[in-house]
A and B are shown apart, each in its own frame.
Chain A
Amino acid sequence: MTEVNSSTIWTEKYRPSKFENIVGQQEIIKRVTNLTNSLNIPHMLFAGPAGIGKSTLAIIVAKELFKDFWKENYLELNASDARGIDVVRQEVKNFARTKSLGNVPFKIIFLDEADALTKEAQQALRRTMENYTGTCRFILSCNYSSKIIDPIQSRCVVFRFKLLEEKDIEKVIKKIAENEKLVIDEKSIETLYEGSEGDCRRAINLLQASASISPTITSELVNTLLSSAKPADIKVVLDYALSGDFDKSREKLLDVMLKESVSGTDIIKSIQKEIWNLDIDPELKVKLTEKTGEIEFRLVEGSDEFIQLEALLASFVLAGLGK
């Protein structure tokens, strides 16, 4: 537990670089360690929620296999950022074309958030995996393995990661706090854990953000950060409209769209979901939902997002009057 690198970002600084330093997932670690030691790993699928060590484990596998050459033999791609499977295929192709350095006969491609790929893209990925199976091993990560098509799952050894327990995250926090000379009490650690929702990266980020304000961490500070980081609620926009304050409502809407760069179609999705929670007559809800659908159609068709959403808000003003 003494490994410390020079990074100033704690999620990196305290990212485990050896199998034995990973907290939780003991069963998985044991199996992956054995596979790695045999110097021949299969394609693998790491499934589980965010911030529990999937990327970390992939990096450690690469480090253990390739030692000093791990960076040359390891490619990390994020499926949710890559625009389309073509980008993924091209990068994989360029990377897999050359032989691996060192005495391991293959390279590793880590495809993060693979469940962000469409079914069609996954089919294409399957073929790519087959084409380069001689020179490359794939490690895929995803939140839900059910979103990965069967042909890929059947080609991989699937590992299901469990959510970290409170004591695991507590251990990590305490270690970092000690190392960084922070003052922290049990209650703050509990707040950090609750705020992290079991996501270790989030817990560490939250800890470092708190520490950037003050080296004495209080649960009040953590709670303030947690509530500030929450994205603005579309409900406020609708409430203003229902109460008849149209100008306030649209001002808030533009604010949400610009400050948090939310697109019109995302806004309309949240509005559609929110309608049934509103305190209005069910008949009005039906009317509003119909109108929302119409507006969504117009947005898809390519109209001015803001004008169309304003028209929708005007219908909410009407609904607020019971019409």
Chain B
Amino acid sequence: MIPFFEKHRPKTFNQIKGQDLAVAKIKEFFRNFSISNKKKALLLHGPAGVGKTTLAMVLANENECEIFELNASDLRNRAKLEEIMKPSTEQKSLFAKGKIILVDEVDGVTATDRGGLPELIVLIEKTKFPIIITANDVWQQKFSLLRRKTELVPLKEVSYSIVLNLLKDIVTIESKQVDEELLKGIAAKSRGDLRAALNDLQSIIYTEAQHVHKDHIHLREKAGDIFNALRHVFKTKTSSETTDIYHNLDMELDKIQLWVEKNIPYEYKGEELAKAYESLSKADIFKGRIYRQQHWRFLVYQNFFLSAGVSSSSRNKDPRSFTKYQKPTRILKIWMANRKNAQKKSIAIKYANYCHISKKRALKEFFTIALILDENTIRKLDLSDQEKLFLQDYKGALKVAHGLNKFVS
């Protein structure tokens, strides 16, 4: 039996629903592709079952190209790579058929030497054919270089109404009868994963279990997607599922806490905002207690306030609205500031000792002191290379920030 999601996979761009932006981008990418392009690869990223691979296939279909799919082991296989790259040029002249290289599910590729990411980067630089890459979570650290070398195209989850309409269409095409309430249930539980919805539909049609209650379709477990978890917490009605939402996630609770912290203001305003932060701050209190007392049961409370607590801050939620969630950056900022402050501090100490004042005062007056430290003084205070570099940057930045350069004669 062919799975529904294969059988009903769109063949043309017209049949793709709810991904207009991505469709436009991929068309444009293909139209403008040339060997001299800076970015010769398109990175389609988004949750599972929203049409990433389909997009690549439709692109090939509409432009009468062949698709060459590469996986991690192919990337490491030099011979295979050359085979794919080389004969195709000859082929192109023979059959006048273009070629698209597809690297599907790049998440599975590891960052180490043997994994294939470095090879993929080289391939992107050398390729004569457009490359389409798909990934779920493109924000992992190992992809930082890849992100720079490719054009990122985010795919949204398919909205509830589109999923529902597609389900209805397919039921009609298959000449079946399914209760509309049941279809609604499938659409809601799929949480934007079209493939999952089609699988559920198929299983119901073929088991003829058309009288199952919609609550019996199990909530799709989608591991590793913080975006889904946030969407659930912020946008859907608080339920018993809410408290479990982080369990499927391959992420520590403390890290999840940073994500929630970052994104609350993009969802809630005014009173809801205050309530949500109150819950978050309570989660944080329990986090502190866990560390101090080593009493791990408090995790239950940290999790509760972080999920149901934050979720229940709002009563009027709109599951169909879209919010662009942001990555937490605070920890990185703190780390960078500490590194900078370490230089600042050690310079201040050297100055303080030399000038008979306290460290504290030197730090407080660092702005003025930085300007005073010229070449000779720097030598006298025996500043390290790192300190010199910091001072140079610091002075340059403050001259620009405060418009001091106009006074230079």
Contact = CB atoms under 8 A, between A and B. Distances in A.
Interface of A: 7-12, 50, 55, 59, 76, 78, 80-81, 112-113, 201-202, 205-206, 208-209, 212-216, 218, 220-221, 224-225, 228-229, 244, 246-247, 250, 254, 258-259, 261, 295, 298, 301-304, 306-308, 310-311, 313-315, 317-318, 321, 323
A267 to B, nearest CB: 14
A212 to B, nearest CB: 5
Given A9-B354, A78-B359, A216 B409 contact: yes
Contacts, number: 150
A306 B361 CA distance: 26
Interface stretch (B180-188, B213-221, B282-290): B282-290
A9 B367 CA distance: 15
B132 to A, nearest CB: 35
A225 B355 contact: no
B292 A9 contact: no
18 contacts: A8-B380, A55-B357, A78-B357, A80-B358, A113-B358, A213-B399, A225-B402, A228-B398, A228-B402, A250-B265, A258-B337, A261-B363, A306-B261, A311-B281, A313-B277, A314-B274, A323-B270, A323-B271
Given A78-B359, A303-B285, A317-B270, A311 B280 contact: yes
A125 to B, nearest CB: 17
In the A-B complex, the 6 residue pairs with the smallest Cβ-Cβ separation, listed nearest first, are A258-B337, A311-B281, A209-B371, A228-B402, A314-B277, A311-B277
A76 B353 CA distance: 9
Contact of A112 (B271, B337, B358, B380): B358
Contact of B355 (A12, A212, A218, A220): A12
B154 to A, nearest CB: 21
Given A214-B408, A218-B407, A258-B334, A225 B368 contact: yes
Q: Which of B292, B361, B401 has the most CB of A within 10 A?
A: B361
Contacts of A81: 352, 358-360
| Size bin of chain B's contact surface | 35 or more
Q: Mostly helix, strand, loop or mixed at chain B's interface? A: helix
B165 to A, nearest CB: 36
B356 A55 contact: yes
B341 interface: yes
A244 B368 CA distance: 35
Interface in B371-409: 371-372, 374, 376-377, 380, 398-399, 401-404, 407-409
Contacts of A225: 368, 371, 402, 404
A255 B10 CA distance: 49
A112 to B, nearest CB: 7
A203 to B, nearest CB: 11
A212 B372 contact: yes
Contacts of A259: 337
A221 B407 contact: yes
Given A81-B358, A317-B270, A303 B407 contact: no
Contacts of B277: 310-311, 313-314
Nearest to A208: B372
Given A112-B356, A205-B372, A229-B367, A224 B404 contact: yes
A314 B368 CA distance: 35
B371 A213 contact: yes
Nearest to A220: B407
Given A209-B371, A209-B372, A213-B408, A315 B287 contact: no
B34 to A, nearest CB: 40
Interface in B268-306: 269-271, 273-274, 276-278, 280-281, 284-285, 287-288, 291-292
B150 to A, nearest CB: 29
B234 to A, nearest CB: 15
B211 interface: no
A59 B409 contact: no
Contacts of A59: 356
A164 B401 CA distance: 33
Nearest to B287: A304
B365 interface: yes
Contact of B356 (A76, A254, A308): A76
Contacts of B357: 55, 78, 112, 201
Contact of B354 (A12, A202, A313): A12
Contact of B273 (A76, A214, A246, A301): A246
Contact of A205 (B285, B333, B368): B368
A313 B265 CA distance: 11
A214 B407 contact: yes
A206 B368 CA distance: 7
A80 B360 contact: yes
Contacts of A304: 284, 287-288
Contact of B372 (A9, A112, A308): A9
A315 B356 contact: no
B371 A212 contact: yes
Given A221-B404, A225-B402, 11 more contacts: A78-B352, A78-B358, A81-B358, A201-B357, A208-B371, A213-B371, A220-B407, A221-B407, A301-B285, A306-B330, A307-B261
B278 A215 contact: no
Contact of B409 (A10, A12, A215, A317): A215
B404 A298 contact: no
B337 A261 contact: yes
Contact of A8 (B276, B281, B359, B377): B377
A292 B257 CA distance: 22
A240 to B, nearest CB: 12
B369 interface: yes
Nearest to B257: A307
Interface in B316-375: 330, 333-334, 337, 341, 351-352, 354-361, 363, 365, 367-369, 371-372, 374
Contacts of B352: 78, 81
A213 B368 contact: no
Nearest to A204: B372
